Amino acid sequence: MPYKTIIALHNVDDDNATIAEAVNLAAALDAHLSVVVIGLTPQPPMSSGYGAGAFEIWGAQFADMQQEISAKVDTMEAWISSHLPAEPLTFDVSQEFSQSGIMARETSRRARFSDLCVFTGTYDPDSYLMQQALRGALYDTGRPVLIMNGKPCPLNDLKRVMLAWDGGAQASIAIRHALELLGNADDVQIAMVDPTSATERYGDEPGADLAGYLARHDIPLSVTPLASEGRTVADTLIRHASDMDAELIVMGGYGHTRLQDWFLGSTTAKMLAGAKRPLLLAH
């Protein structure tokens, strides 16, 4: 499926220049770019020694937040207009500032009307805003999410791609979203950590079914079993992505329950924190 609408989620605290790669990406793919400046509003007070005055303080903080994000939207529009490439590019800039419990729902709603959701800056696993925004973009949308980690990602001319394959549905969905991007690649590797044959996930020959599927799409590929040798799955994948200098890692996002994945950690969370290169995720 061609990417005709790209939504880029921009942290209100990030520099405008972090959106440059999203501008370049939309221009390369001939796609409309929709930038959403996101921020969390201060929580209303539950109770305090200030009594009713606490709500006045909170109201002032909320007004300041509105003013800050509105100014950021205006600045962003001007910045994009002045940094457009030679080819025509259509774009819009809007804002989404919500309380923490609402941000995921709102980013999910917006992402449904795009072909690709992009996080342009380096993903901060300690940022509650980024956690909520990613949670919304990844779940309940049916759309892929590209974490660019501040690096260029030539989606229209990728050469080296690592497919993190665990035989699961989420990884299969992510690879399906990436099919349009793999045609020009020179090196596409199906990377599997400690695969076991004759299992429900991998079948009699790990990676063979996926390799056959991709070969029928004329995608050059190799099947690469990786031995963890005491490392975690994430560390093993990150090391191999570095060894092959992958321009993009494609993988499923959060394959177990959301509660387990989000709060107890997962391979996806560790990859987000440690890969330091673009990741295409889908759920």
Where along the chain do its domains lie?
5-147, 158-282
Mean local confidence (pLDDT), 165-176? 93
Residue 159 pLDDT exceeds 90:
yes
**Token pair for residue 162?**
């690592």
5-147 and 158-282: identical CATH topology? yes
Query: In this model, does residue 211 exceed pLDDT 70?
Result: yes
Determine the pLDDT at residue 237. 97
Q: What is the CA radius of gyration of the chain?
A: 20
Instruction: Assign 210 a pLDDT band (cuts: 50, 70, 90).
Output: very high
Structure tokens at 230: 């005491």
Amino acid 98: pLDDT: 79
- Give the separation between CA 131 and CA 135, rounded to whole angstroms: 6
The predicted pLDDT at position 49 comes to 52
What the block records as the tokens of 259 is 């509660």
Cα separation of 31 and 8, whole Å? 12
pLDDT digits (tens, 9 = 90+) for 1-14: 689 999 999 888 88
pLDDT at 264 exceeding the cut of 50:
no
Query: What is the model's pLDDT at position 259?
Result: 47
pTM for this prediction: 0.89
Q: Can you identify the CATH homologous superfamily of domain 5-147?
A: HUPs (3.40.50.620)
Check residues 176 and 19 and name the one with the higher pLDDT. Answer: 176
Of 253, 268, 246, residue with least CA distance to 188: 246
Residue among 130, 80, 123 at smallest CA distance from 278: 123
Proportion of the chain above pLDDT 70, given as a percent:
89
How confident is the model over 59-108, as pLDDT tens digits? 787 788 778 778 877 888 888 878 777 667 898 888 888 777 788 999 99
Which helix (H) or strand (E) covers residue 75, if one does?
helix 53-82
Query: What is the pairing mode between strands 145-147 and 160-164?
Result: unpaired
Q: How high is the mean pLDDT of the chain?
A: 85
| Local structure of residue 19 (DSSP, 8 states) | G
| pLDDT (mean) for 15-22 | 84
Q: Which fold has domain 158-282?
A: Rossmann fold (3.40.50)
Residue 280 has pLDDT above 60, yes or no: yes
For the chain, the distance separating the N- and C-terminal CA atoms, rounded to the nearest angstrom, is 17
- Percent residues over pLDDT 90 in the chain: 45
